Chains A and B, each alone.
Chain A
Amino acid sequence: MTTDQKLSWTRIRALVRKEVNDFRRNRFIATTMAVLPLLFMIEPVISVFKLPADAPAGKLDALVGVSTLELMLIPALIPAVVASYAVVGEREQGTLEPVLTTPIRPAEFLLGKALAAFLPTVVIAYVMYGVFLGAVGLFAHPNIAHDIFEPSRVLTQLLFTPVVAGWAIWAAIAISTRTSDVRVAQQLGSLASLPPVAVIALIGFDVIQPSVGLAVGLGAGLLVIDLIAWRLVAAMFHRERLVTGARA
């Protein structure tokens, strides 16, 4: 990146602050952020409590796999819903053109949008995971808790939460720059967020044997993909097409 292309964190902060203020007052987004995580956390907690202490190992593994999967849907689906709104939402409400006539660069605009979806998502996802672990630690049978607290599983969850959110956000923003309807963007964005969740599912169900090394390796790989995705999406961002719907 040359000096000329240096990012302005003042502009990015301004965008993040505006987005968060706007989300808080957008009933659909506020509801999505409040209700979905609760659903994805409560269901695994209930399942864990319903499991008898002498449940066979296979059933316990399956339960842990499903729980991991459901909790991972929080960083996958919430930012997809929020970030899908990023560009097409601005277009629909007529605010994109005024923003694009300011000195903001595409990379700053997209990074601001991504961070505004990323930060609340990761906080919510970690809080929900913390509540889940707390409930399991306090109230579940020690055998079950032991399996859920297995270090590689915890590390997988902690590492994958931000990188899965990153993937979901960039996929959703990429779709948002290309579609002209918010609902279509949200549906496609939700679908596009799922591939990394499939990897988590394979780990959760022990199809891929979980280990600390695997979690770190996959997490690092996904992080690199997220960074490349940011640059790719920035390259896809054409002011002209976004403003006029056509390219010269």
Chain B
Amino acid sequence: MTVESDSAATRTRAVPTGPAIVVDGLTKRFGQRTAFADVTFSVDYGEVFGFLGPNGAGKTTTVRTLGTLLAPSAGTATVAGLPLTEANGVAIRSRIAVMPEQPGLYLRLSVAENLDFFAGLYELDDRRGRIERALRAVNLLDRADDPCRSLSKGLRQRVGLARALLSDPQILFLDEPTSGLDPLAARDVHDLVDGLRRRGVTIFLTTHRLAEAEALCDRVGIMNTTLRTIGRPDELRERLFAKTLQVATAAPLADPDRVLVGLPGVEGWHASEQGYVLAVTDPDLAAPAVARAVIGAGADLLALTPSRHSLEDVYLQLIDEDVEAQAR
């Protein structure tokens, strides 16, 4: 499924200048319980920002706070160019759209009636046209008159997304948009988000599906009550994990030290099940030299691969650190 280009709900927009979201020291407490604390980050217009974290990390509460449903306990934020204050609540909500984890549809009403209600709440002109375009964007135009009760969970999620697109928001908050969906329905949602990204919609996506974040997001923040780290997925990998080259040989080298130490870009090595793991400063620089040295030593080189750490590795590393810190 793709986001169609002729839809107003999907038309390439004039991107406003400045950051879409600026959060500085934002904290939310419920009595003695801290939902999230001292969170600072910014999101640019046109960016897809992923907010990752385990259950209870404060992701949804952050979205609710930025969506003006909850008042922050401390800190400041600017959303769609407006300071996050109670007085700006209506103006901020006019510029954003939030799709909660559960789409929250009126099941007795038809798809079009649901959208028409929300178009009225946003005081939109040309409601019929907008509804049609939003439904076309999520490939649901042929189900417009069906009661929402009759739709599958995946289709309801698509209606929720169409509803979020109705007002052509400056910022789209998607809270666990693929939660509980089967892989096919999840892929549909991914395609939609990808299409929105291509036309410059700013998306704030909370998820605990790391592959989803890695595939869709320009940058991610990893949250566990506090913001543990933030950056592009490849930056995070580099920041957290040493760069390595995996060398697989048909048989062990007779004298690995003689072959591997002192090669350009190689800082050290250790043996592994498949062969050797080399700590390198730059895999692209080290790989040719390593290949020549191994072959020059008379060994059969089976594979030479730079290590690939996934976003999941980054995530687990950070969350494990938190678990260990709590245990101490």
Contacts and interface: CB of A to CB of B under 8 A. Distances in A.
A246 B69 contact: no
A18 B73 contact: no
Nearest to A240: B70
Interface string A211-248: 00000000000000000000000000001100110111
Given A21-B109, A26-B108, A95-B104, A246 B120 contact: no
A10 B123 contact: yes
Contact of A103 (B107, B109, B123, B160): B123
Contacts of B70: 239-240, 243-244, 248
A17 interface: yes
Contacts of A10: 120, 123
B120 A93 contact: no
A102 B109 contact: no
Contacts of B105: 95
A102 B71 contact: no
Contacts of A244: 30, 64, 70
Given A98-B104, A248-B73, A105 B90 contact: yes
B69 A239 contact: yes
Nearest to B167: A102
Given A8-B123, A105-B90, A248-B31, A18 B97 contact: no
A22 B87 contact: no
B146 to A, nearest CB: 13
B317 to A, nearest CB: 31
Nearest to B123: A10
Nearest to B90: A103
A110 to B, nearest CB: 14
B: contact size bracket: 35 or more
Pick from B105, B119, B121 the residue with the most CB of A within 10 Å. Answer: B121
Given A13-B120, A15-B121, A95 B106 contact: yes
Contacts of B98: 98, 101
Interface in B87-109: 87, 90-91, 93-94, 96-100, 102-109
Interface string A10-54: 110111011001100110000000000000000000000000000
Given A25-B109, A97-B100, A243 B120 contact: no
A18 B148 CA distance: 14
A246 to B, nearest CB: 5
A25 B123 contact: no
Contacts of B97: 101
B123 A11 contact: yes
Q: Chain A: interface secondary structure?
A: helix
A99 B121 contact: yes
Contacts of A102: 93, 118, 121-122
B29 interface: yes
Interface string A154-192: 000000000000000000000000000000000000000
Contacts of B163: 98
B109 A11 contact: no
Contacts of A21: 108-109, 113
Interface in A91-119: 93-105
Contacts of A4: 87
B64 A22 contact: no
B117 interface: yes
Contacts of A103: 90-91, 93-94, 121-123
A17 B112 CA distance: 13
Contacts of A104: 121
B237 interface: no
B28 A248 contact: yes
B58 interface: no
A94 B104 contact: yes
B120 A17 contact: yes
B121 to A, nearest CB: 4
B67 interface: yes
B104 A22 contact: no
Contact of A22 (B30, B102, B106): B106
A30 to B, nearest CB: 11
Contact of B103 (A18, A98, A101, A247): A98
Interface in B55-97: 64, 67-71, 73, 87, 90-91, 93-94, 96-97
A192 to B, nearest CB: 27
Nearest to A11: B121
A14 B120 contact: yes
A69 B112 CA distance: 43
A21 B120 CA distance: 14
A140 B97 CA distance: 61
Contacts of A14: 116-117, 119-121
23 contacts: A11-B121, A13-B120, A14-B116, A14-B119, A15-B120, A17-B117, A18-B117, A21-B109, A22-B108, A22-B109, A25-B108, A26-B108, A94-B104, A97-B104, A98-B98, A101-B69, A101-B98, A102-B93, A102-B118, A102-B121, A103-B121, A247-B30, A248-B29
Interface of B: 28-31, 64, 67-71, 73, 87, 90-91, 93-94, 96-100, 102-109, 113, 116-123, 160, 163
